[in-house]
A and B are shown apart, each in its own frame.
Chain A
């Protein structure tokens, strides 16, 4: 019996040590697994073509920013990036203008059919919106919206609207009704109470949900490629031209698309699990 206890007390530090080492090993594996592709694309984006095509040169030693210049100013990358930013901005504008009243209704009222509306918002999250690009193109051609950033932004709004409504509703619900009602007792109308009291309080959360919309719209390629021929967004532009370009352009394009996304995540990292875990469900 005594032996057993001695054995146990002896073994615990060992077990802890093994655990510690294992934790470090797994952490290193995770780090290597996720960071390697990002590090390598950064190297390749700046590598000089001559180093790249030298098969025995694993790590390039000569670097250049020429590809960036060419991609942005000769191959219309800059214009595509501006288009992307406009589409994203319009998508956020449209989805909040249309969706915010609905999220307010969900967060503040009890009404018949509420759970049905909530469920249909959830269900429309599951709908493969991309296929709507095909009929939308035909409709857009009739009303002159084809090949415009407005057309793409409206299509992207379909994708993000249900998400914005649901996430914003839960954020608005977390702002206490009491402030709003107090303001209304002091004579503010409901709309003023919302704009002056609730909206500022909910703003940080709403910004986080706007970021979700940003990422979805910024990355979307199927709809953007089908709807627009000349006014292409960045992903659509790269998608159409990358595979016909020399390799070093592909890498620079990959870098240009990836790094904003990575920086983005760095800035919203604090909201990641609490917000995204819920909203992605």
Chain B
């Protein structure tokens, strides 16, 4: 009619062309470069030296350990807290919009600002210590940051990350809860389901997709944890992304930095792949 057959076939691909070119130049080429950095030695021969160096470095294993520790402490807390908040707000009591906005406030905060907010509370002259001193609970300020105090700093970081990122999970889960039709819950009432039964047999299965994607997103983000840890604990608590940064920006050692980055990519790819296959197979079963 208005457009010939030829235009119809080629137009969508032409429209996608700028995106594909951009991604090829800014993702594809740098990725190749990364492989070159990691697997080709200075003399131009293929080599696994960087990888082996990393595997033999105890800092790498420490960084992996702390990244996983952060992941397994922060993510479950975030998802649980966000889910409780979402269930609470979804009851739509009087003034629930107000609570929704308050929960959403940290949504756009960066990890750098969250770290500074947290420092303001937990440092030796911070609000927490001054408050406790005033109450007479402690006689000298409790130190949370510094040499040999990394286990305290660990929990401050956990608290900061839970505070900052719970809203991100909350928004996903609330959106998932809001699309659940009221009819199902009313049907549950008709069949005499108790509140708990309705939750476990109706609400929970129906928000499951949102819960899963929230879990995936936060898990992937946990491997990129960097800003908060770097500012509050430095390298006392090494993490993978932090070591990549340290090797690049402080030691000017791009091959090792790239190898750290490569490890993060591999882990993230494996997790996403596992997630997609599990998710897809379940989808096909239904």
Contacts and interface: CB of A to CB of B under 8 A. Distances in A.
Interface of A: 23, 26-27, 30-31, 33-35, 37-38, 40-41, 44, 52-53, 55-58, 97-99, 101-102, 104-105, 109, 111, 114, 117, 123-124, 126-139, 154-155, 157-158, 161, 165, 184-185, 190, 215, 218-222, 225-226, 235, 238-239, 242-243, 247, 250-251, 253-254, 257-258, 261-262, 264-266, 269, 272-274, 276-278, 280-281
A154 B19 contact: no
A154 B111 CA distance: 22
Given A98-B19, A280-B217, A111 B13 contact: yes
B67 interface: no
Query: Which 6 residue pairs of A and B lie closest in terms of their CB atoms, listed nearest first?
Result: A277-B175, A131-B261, A254-B116, A219-B110, A135-B33, A105-B15
A266 B16 contact: no
A273 B33 CA distance: 40
Interface centre among B107, B134, B163, B269 (most CB of A within 10 A): B107
Contact of A132 (B31, B174, B227, B268): B31
Given A37-B118, A130-B261, A273-B175, 19 more contacts: A30-B103, A34-B167, A35-B102, A38-B117, A58-B127, A105-B16, A126-B268, A128-B223, A128-B261, A128-B264, A131-B262, A132-B27, A132-B261, A137-B254, A154-B26, A222-B224, A222-B226, A257-B112, A273-B100
Tell me the interface secondary structure of chain B in the complex. Answer: helix
Contacts of A247: 119, 123, 125
B68 to A, nearest CB: 16
6 contacts: A27-B95, A98-B19, A105-B11, A157-B26, A190-B3, A280-B217
A102 B120 contact: no
Contacts of B33: 135, 138-139
Interface residues of B, number: 95
A237 to B, nearest CB: 10
A132 B29 CA distance: 10
Interface stretch (B43-51, B70-78, B244-252): B244-252
Interface string B104-126: 11111111110011111101010
B110 A34 contact: no
A139 B95 CA distance: 53
A161 B133 contact: no
Given A98-B18, A130-B224, A131-B258, A41 B117 contact: yes
Given A114-B12, A265-B107, A222 B241 contact: yes
Contacts of A253: 116
